[in-house]
Amino acid sequence: MSFDRKMRLGAFLMAGGHHIAAWRHPDAHAEAGVDIDHFIALARIAERGTFDMVFVEDAAAIRERNPDMASQAARSTAFEPLSLLAALAVNTSHIGLVATASTTYNEPYSLARAFASLDSLSGGRAGWNLVTSASELEAENFASSGLRPHSERYERAEEFADVALALWDGVEHGAYLPEDATVFANRAKLHVLRHHGKHFAVEGVLESLPSAQGRPIMVQAGASDVGKDLAARTADIVFAASQTLAEAKAYYADVKSRLAKYGRKPDDVKIMPGISPVVGATEAEAKAKYRALQELIPDAVGVALLASYLSIQDLSAYPLDGPLPDMPQTNLIQSRQQLIIDLGRRENLSIRELARHFAGARGHWQVVGTPTQVADAMEERFREGAADGFNVMAPLFPSGLEDFITHVVPELRRRGLFREEYEGRTLRANLGVGAPSKR
């Protein structure tokens, strides 16, 4: 593996912070979820740090059914992601803009059109994080029949992705307003899609031109077999959640090994696990910052969050200081459920301990230490074939992101692991994934 390559970094934005109790911290901005100036400031901080992208997740429903969670976790207010990123696009110039959108509760034409517009108005900086949605609360807003089975959701996602990609590729550069200016559209460069599949029938062509990067970047985070295959076939970036180095290496190797089947090379896909860094001038200071956040977690909130990711209604029937009971396989987020089970067994954690650990970053890798220690941990995974970069999940905004960019980024640069300045103006150019192959 070549080590003249550079890390890729994304800033995963989430209101006041990724820690479930961040909104209760004295430095928190409780109304962050619906404050556009807050998000503009975060995007500009990330751009100052020459991050590849900012990323916004989405769920088309309220986050919590459990009253304890709904009343004590600030996850109930949020902007619709594409609207938010359109605002960020005109307040930044280089950083990529990635939004989550579901293949279960959207239609391919309207979604492809929306992302093409964001890609054009941002100068080629848009990306789509494809999700299939695994929330019963979302299903209740869109489908009276309830949540579709896991396999059916991914079957639909495969077809949805193919249609969206075909729509983006159906308009060539110069299709509208060609150079000779004798006609408005060059019909030879417009390719009408005639798709009739199991889930969708689409006959049309987009009215937008390709952006400077050709088409939006594709992002995926599936960890099941069908999810990893979808990522290997369609994604430019894969987000991942891994607790240990061994888990991260195994996931990385698995996804990369699937690329050849689809005629792709290892560098065509960047794997970026989540990392939640708590940075201090000393190790003691970093640990104190982490403890201050952990002490803000009510047990009821931590346990309710854990139960939601385990895909069960309630854990209250089990002793909090006892072990996690055996769990039936879920139809929801299967990989995250298994990650929690493995973590609890490996570390011999009680339900209370597991809940408090999980509340910090929802199963993503947490690193607490000095800038050197955080950079050491990141460098190990980068060099050991476990990551091409990281999706940085600051526990508290804006201070957690500021700490990382002010103190960890210079250390990564000193080691030659991260860029000094942007390589280009598009997300595709900065990621180094090359021009998309046309379908």
What CATH number is attached to the domain comprising 203? 3.20.20.30
Count structural domains, the chain.
1
Evaluate whether residue 307 is within a structural domain.
Answer: yes
CB neighbour list of residue 414: distance below 8 Å, 6 or more residues apart: none
As a whole number of angstroms, the distance between CA 183 and CA 90 comes to 31
As a whole number of angstroms, the distance between CA 380 and CA 94 comes to 28
pLDDT of the residue at 416: 98
State pLDDT tens for residues 232-288. 999 999 999 988 999 999 999 999 999 999 999 999 999 999 999 999 999 999 999
Evaluate whether residue 249 is within a structural domain.
Answer: yes
Q: Under a CB-based contact definition with an 8 Å cutoff, are residues 116 and 86 in contact?
A: no
Average pLDDT over residues 68-77: 60
As a whole number of angstroms, the distance between CA 356 and CA 290 comes to 11
Q: Which of 81, 89, 160, 80 is nearest to 118 (CA)?
A: 89
Q: Under a CB-based contact definition with an 8 Å cutoff, are residues 10 and 98 in contact?
A: yes
CB neighbour list of residue 237: distance below 8 Å, 6 or more residues apart: 8, 10, 98, 127, 217, 218, 219, 220, 269, 270, 271, 272, 431
Q: Give the range of the structural domain holding residue 339, as residue numbers without chain letter.
A: 8-431
Flag whether pLDDT at 332 surpasses 60: no
Run of H or E residues at 117: helix 108-121
Specify the residue for token string 């941990």. 377
As a whole number of angstroms, the distance between CA 256 and CA 211 comes to 28
Flag whether pLDDT at 81 surpasses 70: yes
pLDDT of the residue at 258: 97
Q: How confident is the model at residue 177 (pLDDT cuts 50, 70, 90)?
A: confident
Evaluate whether residue 2 is within a structural domain.
Answer: no
Q: How confident is the model at residue 149 (pLDDT cuts 50, 70, 90)?
A: confident
As a whole number of angstroms, the distance between CA 135 and CA 83 comes to 22
As a whole number of angstroms, the distance between CA 56 and CA 274 comes to 13
Put simply, whether the predicted model's pTM sits higher than 0.85 gets the answer: yes
Q: Which of 262, 293, 242 is nearest to 399 (CA)?
A: 293
CB neighbour list of residue 401: distance below 8 Å, 6 or more residues apart: 11, 42, 45, 46, 392, 394
State pLDDT tens for residues 356-385. 888 888 889 999 999 999 999 999 999 999
